Amino acid sequence: MPEKIHSCLSELDLTGRSFLTIHDYSPEEVAALLDLAAALKDAQKRRAAHPVLAGRAVAMIFMKTSTRTRVSFEIGIEQLGAQPMFLSANDIQLRVGETIKDTANVMSRYVDCIMIRTFAQKDVEDLAEYGQIPVINGLTDTHHPCQGMADALTVREHCGKLEGVKLVYSGDGNNVAHSLAEVGAKTGMHIVICTPDGYGPDMDIVARAQADAAETGASIELTSDLQAAVQGADVIYTDTFTSMGEETEHDVRLAALKAYQVNMDLVNRAGPQVKVMHCLPAHWGEEITEEVLYSPNSVVFDQAENRMHAQKAIMAAVIR
């Protein structure tokens, strides 16, 4: 095992813990996970083998379809030396035919970790409560913590730091906005969430992040004035205006959020230093333009790659 990975793992004591939200982890633990992710990324780039989970097995439950989550987890699990097992909504139906308590107990006898991408946060929490193995939240309607960790890794790479970085999120106050607020609060970032009236984030999650921010010097701000917010921003971030399950609202949401599109006029207002992020998939002409997505300001595809490295760090830390 590369020495840097060994060193990072020796400083972590997360074995057996679930990864349900970033709020559950201390600033020191978040920083250590990011260091481990960077070490794992470096090892992968150098083609240095790092099978720290050899002999382990990870179940991947997908109640929602995905491109990046499926590929990044499956390849990442194999790179760590473990066996991935893919289970779709057709293979396993939580709370249908078998209680989630029974499912959690059975799966705990077969595999060493469960990654689940689903709708309700409570399903993830119940799996973690009733099982005897760590559960990793691959996405719910309210949280996207693996994405948040990948985002922090990307910002750190391109801005050289996290503390004091100003990240402006534009669009719908969804699960991505929630996890950005949480990771920003843990790492000393200045997160500005820009949404129109009626599309703001969950205020309980925001209040919790603001309490965390008070301990790290971070700040979590809400506004509807995107044009003012992006001035001097280090990062502009956006996500789809219509999340999975909201397809019938597409036209209404697009009309309400059209002023929050990330285009070159907005990028130019922020300044040449600004980096643009998007968790993908992107819908050109809606929340972002193709011109911006492929501009020199865009770090979107570095961000997509970092999903794998951040997730590998989480798995390596909690499964050992």
Confidence of residue 205 (pLDDT cuts 50, 70, 90): very high
Identified catalytic residue from 50, 56, 117, 143? 117
What was the pLDDT predicted at 193?
98
- How far apart (Å, rounded) are the C-alpha atoms in residues 29 and 22? 10
What was the pLDDT predicted at 242?
86
Active-site residue 309, yes or no? no
Active-site residue 239, yes or no? yes
Q: In one letter, which amino acid is 99? A: T
Q: Which residues contact 186 (CB under 8 A, 6 or more apart)?
A: 22, 23, 25, 26, 27, 30, 212, 216, 218
Active-site residue 279, yes or no? yes
Active-site residue 42, yes or no? no
- DSSP 8-state symbol, 19: B
Is the predicted pLDDT of residue 245 greater than 80, yes or no?
Answer: no
Q: Identify the residue with better confidence: 40 or 1.
A: 40
Identified catalytic residue from 143, 178, 278, 307? 307
Q: What is the pLDDT of residues 138-179, one digit of tens each?
A: 999 999 999 999 999 999 999 999 999 999 999 999 999 999
Q: What does the mean pLDDT of the chain come to?
A: 96
Active-site residue 147, yes or no? yes
- How far apart (Å, rounded) are the C-alpha atoms in residues 285 and 298? 16
All structural domains of the chain: 3-143+305-319 (3.40.50.1370), 147-303 (3.40.50.1370)
Confidence of residue 295 (pLDDT cuts 50, 70, 90): very high
Confidence of residue 266 (pLDDT cuts 50, 70, 90): very high
What was the pLDDT predicted at 89?
87
How far is Cα of residue 265 from the mean position of the Cα atoms in its chain? Answer: 27
Q: What is the pLDDT of residues 36-48, one digit of tens each?
A: 999 999 999 999 9
Identified catalytic residue from 68, 253, 279, 309? 279
Q: Are 236 and 293 in contact (CB under 8 A)?
A: no
Token pair listed for 153: 């890794």
Is the predicted pLDDT of residue 241 greater than 80, yes or no?
Answer: yes
Q: What strands, in cross-sheet order, belong to the sheet with 57-62?
A: 83-88, 57-62, 113-117, 135-139
What was the pLDDT predicted at 220?
98
Is the predicted pLDDT of residue 17 greater than 80, yes or no?
Answer: yes
Identified catalytic residue from 178, 239, 253, 278? 239
What was the pLDDT predicted at 166?
98
What does the pLDDT average to over 119-134? 97
Can you spell out the DSSP letters for 90-108? TT--TTSSS-HHHHHHHHH
Q: What is the sign, positive or negative, of the torsion defined by CA atoms of 110, 112, 115, 121?
A: positive
Q: Identify the residue with better confidence: 198 or 247.
A: 198
Q: Are 267 and 240 in contact (CB under 8 A)?
A: no
Peptide bond just before 281 cis, omega within 30 deg: yes
What does the pLDDT average to over 2-21? 96
- Least Cα distance to 215 among 31, 26, 19, 22 occurs for 26
- The helix/strand/coil state of 240 is coil
Identified catalytic residue from 79, 147, 210, 261? 147
Q: Which residues contact 194 (CB under 8 A, 6 or more apart)?
A: 168, 169, 170, 171, 223, 224, 225, 226, 229, 260
Is the predicted pLDDT of residue 85 greater than 90, yes or no?
Answer: yes
Identified catalytic residue from 50, 56, 143, 144? 144
What counts of helices (H) and strands (E) characterise the chain? 13, 9
Active-site residue 194, yes or no? no
Is the predicted pLDDT of residue 311 greater than 90, yes or no?
Answer: yes
Residue with tokens 């139906």: 93
